[in-house]
A and B are shown apart, each in its own frame.
Chain A
């Protein structure tokens, strides 16, 4: 019997011919990462274990991105800890402010994570790299510390759910809308402990930026990983970036799936996920007039160049509504540079949006755009839990960059079609 792409990658890294869902295996890890929130605990555990050396200094990235540039003294101390550890161990992949980016945008961009890899990160959105055809999943800091020391970790092999996307995308519908719709259908634990495999003609046509957006939110359905089989689009993306070898895996035609779910995307409109759950997704046209205070376009979900281009397309020759703050946060330095070179910043500034240096910032309610009680934001981020962007009585509505930009202009949750 055949195997899924997830099973094949795990089997190869466990040194086994095949693996079955439910099996406990130990695998080698190709790349790992931690950030300014999770690395301090991992470093503490690393020291507790009495470890002196990392298994391979070239296979870990430490990325201060959540509270940097340091938002306060405590976060400065956390970043200091990372920096000193990076210096002590001569880590080649430590990314300081000015060179950094939001981790899940940065690592694929730098060619550090590749198709066929097993990647673990002390951050739940590590699942983003499934967009490249890697097995990537989030773990806690203690798990990460063990990986730093041994280069290995254990997994229970997940059963796979196959999603087939067919039909033709309607105007303004993006990968973000597809994943919000999917989570809306299956719920926040609809894929708990499972692999979500995104397939079908619509996925084949999606750009790498949008594939990464989809895989990014697999965790929001409780999944262990999200994955898209690599193809020519993947090859073009990784060829110029990869500094080590990589491998393309594909699911066998007779692979076993726990469930196969088919969506006809011709029926899917741009989506908005209402607070406080990413599974509360609704077609934007079904919503009443919902006034907003802030728009955030950025994050590891939608802070890549294509997202900024889409926002710029809608903000061009328009202005952000008078009572709305529109924050635009390119996810990495390279994206920042490219957006600037392409003239997107002129469009954003003329629209009276604010442009920030790369940071997670408001996405997790850290800083740089915190909401007061009763305030409402439309964000291209991935979580709209209670208090996620500030006060527990503030609200976050999740949407694509197109819906976010249209909402910024109209001062209410809006579809790009509502713009004249």
Chain B
């Protein structure tokens, strides 16, 4: 699966309160949540982001709470993939469980700047920076997670288990 989009660069330790502030958690409606996506990190992000865009961040993206509203808001805002030097544990699980692809790449996190066009091959973990003709390598996704994603996320996986 290949993805292409414009990069939005963020720093380290982007927490779930920055991704979707708790003051908006009185709903789990994806459209509502998308309007406030990344609001406390960049108040205009929800207006600026276009479908297919990619977030690139430094270490520990998604730290803080377990709220699935964070990946839901990102996905509903049109973000197609997140690349970070590293991810917080619960965010990592949540993203896979709901089919939001994420990749760990220190190289890309250190180099990419906002506005650059990226092309991502999820199968190989190769990220191409079209704006500067550079290639970065991401950590391969663990086989178990690939299986989850291939099956359509955790719920279909559980449904299959229920049937078997």
- A residues with CB within 8 A of B: 24, 37-38, 40-41, 44-45, 48-51, 66-67, 71-72, 74-75, 78, 121-124, 126, 138-143, 145-146, 149-150, 154, 188-189, 192-193, 219, 222, 224, 277, 364-366, 370, 383, 385-388, 390, 392
Interface of A is mostly: loop
Closest beta carbon of chain B to A227's beta carbon, Å: 16
Q: Which of B47-55, B121-129, B130-138, B156-164 contacts A (4 or more CB under 8 A)?
A: B156-164
CB pair A139–B66 under 8 Å, yes or no, is yes
A residues near B15, Cβ cutoff 8 Å:
383, 385
What is the count of residue pairs linking A and B with beta-carbon distances less than 8 angstroms?
A: 144
CB pair A123–B65 under 8 Å, yes or no, is yes
Closest beta carbon of chain B to A394's beta carbon, Å: 11
Known contacts: A154-B144, A188-B13, A386-B18. The answer to whether A142 contacts B65 by CB under 8 A is no
Apart from A41-B68, A138-B66: 6 A-B pairs, beta carbons within 8 A:
A49-B158, A78-B28, A150-B158, A188-B13, A365-B17, A365-B23
A residues near B41, Cβ cutoff 8 Å:
386
Name the one of A74, A124, A154, A222 contacting B65, with C-beta atoms under 8 angstroms.
Answer: A124
A146 and B157 alpha carbons, distance in the complex (Å): 9
A72 and B162 alpha carbons, distance in the complex (Å): 38
Known contacts: A37-B67, A383-B64. The answer to whether A388 contacts B158 by CB under 8 A is no
Please tell me if B63 contacts chain A, counting CB pairs below 8 Å.
yes
CB pair A24–B64 under 8 Å, yes or no, is no
CB pair B67–A38 under 8 Å, yes or no, is yes
CB pair B13–A189 under 8 Å, yes or no, is yes
How many residues does chain B have at the interface if contact means C-beta atoms less than 8 Å apart?
44
B residues near A366, Cβ cutoff 8 Å:
22-23, 25
CB pair B68–A38 under 8 Å, yes or no, is yes
A residues near B154, Cβ cutoff 8 Å:
142-143, 145-146
A residues near B64, Cβ cutoff 8 Å:
124, 219, 383, 385
A residues near B155, Cβ cutoff 8 Å:
45, 48-49, 142, 145-146
Provide a sorted-by-A list of 26 A–B residue pairs whose CB atoms are within 8 angstroms. A37-B22, A38-B66, A38-B68, A40-B28, A66-B22, A78-B28, A124-B64, A124-B65, A140-B66, A140-B93, A140-B97, A142-B94, A142-B98, A143-B154, A150-B158, A150-B162, A188-B60, A188-B63, A192-B60, A219-B64, A365-B23, A366-B22, A370-B23, A386-B18, A392-B21, A392-B43
Closest beta carbon of chain A to B80's beta carbon, Å: 19
CB pair A150–B68 under 8 Å, yes or no, is no
A78 and B27 alpha carbons, distance in the complex (Å): 7
A44 and B155 alpha carbons, distance in the complex (Å): 11
A219 and B63 alpha carbons, distance in the complex (Å): 9
CB pair B25–A41 under 8 Å, yes or no, is no
A residues near B39, Cβ cutoff 8 Å:
392
CB pair B17–A66 under 8 Å, yes or no, is no
CB pair A222–B40 under 8 Å, yes or no, is no
Please tell me if B75 contacts chain A, counting CB pairs below 8 Å.
no
Report which residue of A51, A74, A370 has the largest number of chain B beta carbons within 10 angstroms of its beta carbon: A74
**Chain B residue at minimum C-beta to C-beta distance from A276:** B15
Closest beta carbon of chain A to B14's beta carbon, Å: 10
B residues near A24, Cβ cutoff 8 Å:
142, 144
Please tell me if B59 contacts chain A, counting CB pairs below 8 Å.
yes
Please tell me if B88 contacts chain A, counting CB pairs below 8 Å.
yes
Closest beta carbon of chain B to A364's beta carbon, Å: 4
A78 and B28 alpha carbons, distance in the complex (Å): 9
